[in-house]
Amino acid sequence: MSIRMNGYLESKDKKRRAPVYTMDNGKICVSICSYGGYITSLLVPDRNGTCGDIALGFDNLDDYERTSFAPCGIVGRYANRIKNGRFLIAGKEIQVARNDGFHHLHGGKKGFHRYMWNPSVCMDDSGQEYVQLERLSPDGEEGFPGNLSVSVHFALNKQNELTIRFLAVSDRDTVCSLSNHMALNLDTCRSSTCLDHRLKIYGSSFAPAGHDGIPTGQVLSTSHTNMDLRTEQPIGTQIDMPSAFTETFGGYDHNWFLDGGTHLKPCLSLTHPGSGRTLECFTTMPCVHVYTANSLNGSETGKYGVTYKRHCALFTETQYAPDSVNHPEWAQPFLKAGELYDHTTVYRFSSPCLTEGS
């Protein structure tokens, strides 16, 4: 497995650039940009051994800087939404940036996906190299308390597993929920929709939400609804079923509570029958938010000249539940001063070609 600094992602005028690091295990290849921690390409072979880029993204730095949906970037300090941008810490009300109507979304007006991170190549105790991105989120950034030191590790192994480990520590009590805004189309990012993909989610309950994406506070069983993905189902068939849950958003834009404990556990699997590519996701986080790109409308053009339209990809965010800061009955994202935030998500890729070549 090799890691190399593989050039730069440049602005259109060539005056600004961000280093890009590429990890290659001889089968799949992952490129990570120091701006926003974006996975700028993810090359995985199909059943015939033809590599395709399955990650949504852009060709230049300018488009990453102004994108509205941050495909495959680091989101934080709080992934997803906080109602009215308000919550309590030790009885004191904290007001953070409101950048989604009345609510907070993905870190605020300038979330972690809009910063240049400090990159390096490191080695763990087993001798495996990984790409490390670091930044200090200063006290008061977007309204959040505490100087939060963040380190994100990207590693690729011979088993075709991409591991993303999020580490953070604060000098004040704060909240922390970090994720990657993974946006994939297993039929390659040039394809039209993800509706022919088959999805399984290891969660038997979910959080219904209003039109603004804020959870109602209910936790409902997925049984007898089109939210029940405990057995693999075609995405298009499921969201076409009459259902107030998906009709509200025009598809999936929901949080599932994962079955299992706080250890690394199965989260979801995604399969594209045509290409033979499969993604399996494992995480230590308590929830996963799944979004079927319902609001993309063709206003942004990505890599290879592709116009990103409705349902063009599946977004998966391992995280704490949206607005969990205001629901003490759910797993909590509060981080005490001096304590270590340490969460891992693993993406395992496979295809008949990869299985035969193992």
Hey, which residues are catalytic here? 181, 317
Q: From CA 119, how far away is CA 279, in angstroms rounded?
A: 27
Q: From CA 193, how far away is CA 230, in angstroms rounded?
A: 22
The total number of residues shown for the chain amounts to 358
Token reading at 252: 């999936």
Q: From CA 249, how far away is CA 239, in angstroms rounded?
A: 10
Longest dimension (CA), the chain: 59
- Residue 235 in 3-state DSSP? helix
DSSP string, 248-297: TTTS-EEEEEPSS-SSSEEEEEEEETTTTEEEEEEESSSEEEEE--TT--
Per-position b or e across 200-226, b if 16+ CB within 10 A of its CB = bbbbbbbbbbeeebbbeeebeebeebb
Token reading at 108: 């605020």
Residue of 349, 340, 191 lying closest to 269 (CA atoms): 349
